[in-house]
């Protein structure tokens, strides 16, 4: 097992505005989606013992932190993002003892473990929500309960407190006859929003977080944590609610208005995050916090991640994975507009140039596979090269890279053709709402949209080898995996890439080692060049007297090296100047001398 030595960044370089730099300043995080990572007991669902059995693979890749998507007790309506007991493990994934074993085995290998914290909402099967249905119970005010609109019949269409739609289709309000009121759920109706205005809610969340940290967990990825503070008026009413001082937005094509402007980055966002930092993390060391932040601007990212404000270490921003669709509808995908992507990343990088920090991701369990989205998975050659090019582009930025399980193998979208192959409620509900109810998209167009952007693309089983179920579960398992294995697992799998010097896996291992070994890559200033070039993503990294040119052709054609990049290599480069390239170094030397880049050719070169 070779794990590159991660250098301790010198105090002379500053990462997020503090000196000494946080331990994670040159770390790389790997996201595990437990349901699809490794099944150890033949039930077709990944589990904790399965993850533990793969820790040597992860240690060899060289990552430093594992982020686990939720493994808590859950009805699995949203694959575990609907939690019914925060302090127990769902039997699907194992037991608390299995979690303790995973923590111990990971720590033995120098791997930290960050858990997924889902506290904007619970499951409707959580004891807190059950209790909250009784208006005389102390938990009565732990959720957003609101009466039907005056003059309407509760439970009937139009009686909802306002016109908000759920991210997962339908109204964001569900009527509860027991309580005689509606409750808010920005996501599925089995995911009621917690009322963070209530200090008892916040106290319970912090106590739970401390319980996990005391158990040895190394931090949290905080699910939609920037939705917890809602914009309410002086009487506590939500926009559009009867009598509210705030007006709701007009309804969209599906018949609902968008809650995000009233729930993203709300008035008490900073207060809640700073309180959490004080109540949970004060006095602790060696932890990492990353907040999932739909609806956050880059300026607010700098504020929230600036250590002087004591909130979060970093955020996941979304503009770069939300922009490539028509009318902001993810089911109407558009091809990559590279100059626009560069402008978005440039905003993110410049906002945290002096203080604050950036996360770097192109994939996760909610996104399609980046090699299919922005690369070319149509042939083996273009798939391998474009996966490397996209990995090089991302990992040479300033910030903390996140590798999503299978991204290091160049795993692709699954290209399902039938609706019954999908499992994700977001896709299935959207199909029903857009095709069958609102009739705003054709079945054919919607199937193409789900094939291109559906979350199940990232959730097919991890491809370990070429056997029947890709080594995810036993080839003779009595039960099929919960979702079909991608048929291309016979070609694309860890066993076939592990020892291949030209594989995507080996390339990612090198990218991670370069970050560990080079302060220039981890902390150097980032500067975009040739911003308008539509094929080549080029930027420089500088630190002290060192300068790195990164130039990546994100197209399948041979293109000219853009002007500013060409100027930086006009003196000619030699193979030792090539830090990493998606072809071999000699090819990169010739390409750069010819002022061109081959299809999906990228290089990081000292200049
Ligand atoms: O995702 C929040 C979120 O914004 C997603 O709805 C995402 O933007 C969308 O699916 C992209 O099309 C988090 C979790 O990552 C997601 O898996 C959960 O379904 C959601 O919250 C609710 O917990
Ligand atoms: Ca299992």
Asked whether 576 and 557 are in contact (CB, 8 A), the reply is no
Which residues, judged by CB distance below 6 Å to any ligand atom, belong to the binding site of ligand 1?
Answer: 78, 81, 118, 167, 187, 223-224, 292, 294, 330, 365-366, 426, 455
CB atoms within 10 A of CB 492: 25
CB atoms within 10 A of CB 436: 10
Tell the residue nearest (CA) to atom 23 of ligand 1.
Answer: 81
Tell the residue nearest (CA) to atom 4 of ligand 1.
Answer: 294
Tell the residue nearest (CA) to atom 5 of ligand 1.
Answer: 366
**Token pair listed for 378:** 């149509």
DSSP secondary structure code for residue 162 in this structure: S
Measured in whole angstroms, the distance separating CA 52 from the mean position of its chain's CA atoms is 22
d(CA 579, CA 518): 10
d(CA 489, CA 478): 20
Ligand nearest to the CA of 325: 1
Q: Does 223 score more than 50 pLDDT?
A: yes
Taking all residues of the chain, what is their mean pLDDT, rounded to a whole number?
97
What are the tens digits of pLDDT across the range 227-276?
A: 999 999 999 999 999 999 999 999 999 999 999 999 999 999 999 999 99
Mean pLDDT, rounded, for 23-35: 98
All domains of the chain in start order, with CATH: 3-120+197-229+265-497 (3.20.20.80), 524-606 (2.60.40.1180)
3 state SS of 86:
strand
Task: Encode 34-57: b = buried (16+ Cβ within 10 Å), e = exposed.
Answer: bbbbbbbeeebbbbbbbbbebbeb
Q: Which residues contact 73 (CB under 8 A, 6 or more apart)?
A: 83, 84, 85, 88, 89, 90, 91
pTM: 0.98
- What is the signed CA dihedral for 577, 581, 585, 586, rounded to 10 degrees? -120
Q: Does 34 score more than 60 pLDDT?
A: yes
- Give the atom of ligand 1 at the shortest distance from the alpha carbon of 187: 22
What are the tens digits of pLDDT across the range 110-137?
A: 999 999 999 999 999 999 999 999 999 9
Q: Does 3 score more than 60 pLDDT?
A: no
What are the tens digits of pLDDT across the range 275-304?
A: 999 999 999 999 999 999 988 999 999 999
- Spell out where 171-277 has E strands: 173-176, 181-184, 219-222
Mean pLDDT, rounded, for 482-491: 98
Q: Which residues contact 146 (CB under 8 A, 6 or more apart)?
A: 161, 173, 181, 182, 183, 184, 238, 241
What is the residue whose two structure tokens read 């054709």?
A: 442
Phi, psi (rounded to 5 degrees) for 553: -85, 105
Span from the CA of 500 to the centroid of ligand 1 (angstroms)? 35
Q: Does 2 score more than 90 pLDDT?
A: no
What pLDDT score was predicted for residue 295? 87
Question: Residue 50: which H helix or E strand, with range?
Answer: helix 48-52
Asked whether 592 and 552 are in contact (CB, 8 A), the reply is no
Q: Does 1 score more than 60 pLDDT?
A: no
Annotated catalytic residues are 223, 292
What are the tens digits of pLDDT across the range 52-108?
A: 999 999 999 999 999 999 999 999 999 999 999 999 999 999 999 999 999 999 999
Asked whether 510 and 365 are in contact (CB, 8 A), the reply is no
- Give the atom of ligand 1 at the shortest distance from the alpha carbon of 426: 10
Asked whether 358 and 314 are in contact (CB, 8 A), the reply is yes
Span from the CA of 366 to the centroid of ligand 1 (angstroms)? 6
Comparing C-alpha atoms, which of 136, 47, 12, 155 is closest to residue 477? 47
What pLDDT score was predicted for residue 346? 98
What are the tens digits of pLDDT across the range 391-425?
A: 999 999 999 999 999 999 999 999 999 999 999 99
């Amino acid at each position: 097992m070779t794990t590159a030595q991660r250098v301790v960044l010198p105090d002379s370089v500053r990462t997020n505005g503090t000196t000494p730099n946080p331990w994670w300043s040159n770390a790389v995080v790997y996201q595990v989606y437990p349901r699809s990572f490794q099944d150890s007991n033949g039930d077709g669902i990944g589990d904790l013992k399965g993850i533990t059995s793969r820790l040597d693979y992860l240690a060899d890749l060289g990552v430093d932190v594992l982020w686990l998507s939720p493994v808590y007790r859950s009805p699995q309506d949203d694959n575990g993002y609907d939690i019914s007991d925060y302090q127990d493990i769902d039997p699907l994934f194992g037991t608390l003892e299995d979690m303790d074993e995973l923590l111990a085995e990971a720590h033995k290998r120098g791997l930290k473990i960050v858990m997924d914290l889902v506290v904007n909402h619970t499951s409707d099967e959580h004891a807190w929500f059950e209790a909250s249905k009784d208006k005389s119970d102390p938990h009565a005010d732990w959720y957003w309960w609101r009466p039907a609109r005056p003059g309407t019949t509760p439970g009937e269409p139009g009686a909802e407190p306002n016109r908000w739609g759920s991210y997962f289709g339908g109204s964001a309000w569900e009527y509860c006859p027991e309580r005689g009121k509606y409750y808010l759920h920005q996501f599925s109706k089995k995911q009621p929003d917690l009322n963070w205005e209530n200090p008892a809610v916040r106290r319970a969340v912090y106590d739970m977080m401390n319980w996990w940290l005391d158990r040895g967990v190394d931090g949290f990825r905080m699910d939609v944590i920037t939705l917890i503070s809602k914009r309410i008026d002086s009487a506590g009413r939500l926009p559009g609610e009867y009598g509210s001082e705030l007006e709701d937005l007009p309804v969209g094509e599906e018949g609902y208005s968008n809650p995000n402007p009233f729930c993203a980055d709300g008035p008490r966002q900073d207060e809640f995050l700073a309180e959490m930092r004080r109540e949970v993390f004060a006095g602790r060391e060696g932890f990492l916090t990353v907040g999932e932040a739909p609806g956050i601007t880059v300026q607010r990212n700098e504020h929230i991640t600036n250590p002087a404000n004591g909130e979060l270490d970093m955020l996941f921003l979304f503009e770069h994975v939300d922009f490539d669709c028509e009318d902001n509808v993810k089911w109407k995908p558009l091809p990559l507009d590279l100059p626009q992507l560069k402008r978005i990343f440039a905003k993110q990088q410049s906002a945290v140039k002096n203080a604050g920090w950036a996360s770097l991701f192109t994939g996760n369990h909610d996104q399609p596979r980046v090699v299919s989205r922005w690369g070319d998975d149509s042939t083996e050659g273009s798939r391998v090269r474009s996966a490397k090019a996209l990995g090089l582009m991302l990992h040479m930025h300033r910030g903390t890279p996140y590798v999503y399980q299978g991204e290091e193998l160049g795993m692709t979208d699954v290209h399902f053709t039938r609706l019954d192959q999908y499992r994700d409620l977001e896709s299935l509900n959207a199909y029903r709402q857009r095709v069958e109810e609102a009739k705003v998209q054709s079945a054919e167009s919607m199937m193409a949209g789900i094939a291109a952007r559906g979350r199940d693309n990232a959730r097919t089983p991890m491809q370990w080898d070429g056997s029947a179920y890709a080594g995810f579960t036993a080839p003779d398992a009595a039960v099929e995996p919960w979702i079909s294995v991608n048929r291309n697992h016979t070609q694309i799998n860890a066993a076939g890439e592990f020892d291949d010097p030209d594989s995507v896996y080996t390339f990612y291992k090198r990218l991670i080692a370069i970050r560990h070994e080079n302060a220039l890559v981890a902390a150097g200033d980032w500067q975009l060049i040739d911003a308008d070039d539509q094929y080549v993503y080029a930027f420089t990294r500088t630190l002290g007297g060192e300068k790195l040119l990164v130039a990546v052709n994100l197209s399948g054609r041979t293109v000219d090296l853009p002007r500013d990049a060409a100027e930086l290599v006009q003196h000619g480069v030699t193979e030792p100047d090539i830090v990493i390239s998606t072809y071999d170094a000699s090819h990169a030397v010739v390409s750069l001398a010819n002022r061109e880049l081959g299809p999906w050719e990228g290089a990081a070169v000292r200049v």
